[in-house]
Amino acid sequence: MSADTRSHHSPGPVTRRRPVQQRSQERYGRILDACAGLLDEVGATALTTKEVAQRAQVPIGTLYQFFAGKEDLLAALATRNLDHYLQRLDDRLAGAAPVGAATFTDLAVEEFVAMKRAVPGFGQVDFGLAGTTAPSGVRDEQHLLDAGVDNNTAVALRLQALGGGLFSAGDPAATTLTLRVALEAADAVLKLAFRGDPEGDPALIAECKRLVRGYLTQQPSTR
């Protein structure tokens, strides 16, 4: 399975200027790192671009060279998180070959949980905003990854590409819908798992795997 899973339908956020030179790439990454760290401290609602620039030790003007504002900044972080997640999942899948739909599902949940426990800011912004309400400065929290489709559809398209033939069906749109439903279900159960336990309730994580595995393996394309 290839780690190059970027969908043609999921271009990611539009930043003011893409970093090309090494120095610019380093600043860009430092800004996103600062954003992630501050999210753990103050949350998405209280986050400001001024504080991010101060934490990253860059002038506020430099931040605005790359990001149009807070929404653009959070969108870039969500996109980076998704890219890292898919690369890490691809590495797990390569070590578990051969892989069926059930194994793919279990590893996908396990990798999400691992990032939830260890990646700065992931509890606030994973592949979208983890909260139920959009903070100030964010107009369209459902389209952080792609202006054309909602966040879970964008993730479904990337997982569909990563899974290849595991989730193929006669109608690709039907496959995307199936994966989107699975993601919505997993998201709800995992939010519950982490609501009262910062490490995630093991019983609820296991139930999440069972729920999604059962749903996906019952689909005609994955039996």
Domain CATH for 84: 1.10.357.10
SS3 label, residue 127? coil
Quickly state the pLDDT bin for 63 (edges 50, 70, 90).
very high
Say if 52 falls within a structural domain.
no
Pairwise CA distance, residues 200 & 202, whole Å = 6
Question: Which residue would you say has higher pLDDT here, 189 or 222?
Answer: 189
pLDDT tens, position by position, 72-131: 999 999 999 999 999 999 999 999 978 898 999 999 999 999 999 999 999 999 999 987
Say if 103 falls within a structural domain.
yes
The domain total for the chain is: 1
pTM value is 0.89
Q: Per-residue pLDDT for 222 more than 60?
A: no
Say if 126 falls within a structural domain.
yes
Say if 43 falls within a structural domain.
no
Say if 25 falls within a structural domain.
no
CA angle 44, 73, 132 (to 5 degrees): 35
Residue 94 structural domain: 78-222
Quickly state the pLDDT bin for 44 (edges 50, 70, 90).
very high
Say if 113 falls within a structural domain.
yes
Pairwise CA distance, residues 10 & 122, whole Å = 20
Say if 181 falls within a structural domain.
yes
pLDDT tens, position by position, 128-151: 998 756 777 788 888 999 999 999
Among left, alpha and beta (phi > 0; psi -120 to 50; other), residue 12 is left
pLDDT of residue 2: 46
Burial of 135 (0-12, 13-18, 19+ CB in 10 A): middle
pLDDT of residue 4: 46
pLDDT of residue 178: 92
Say if 185 falls within a structural domain.
yes
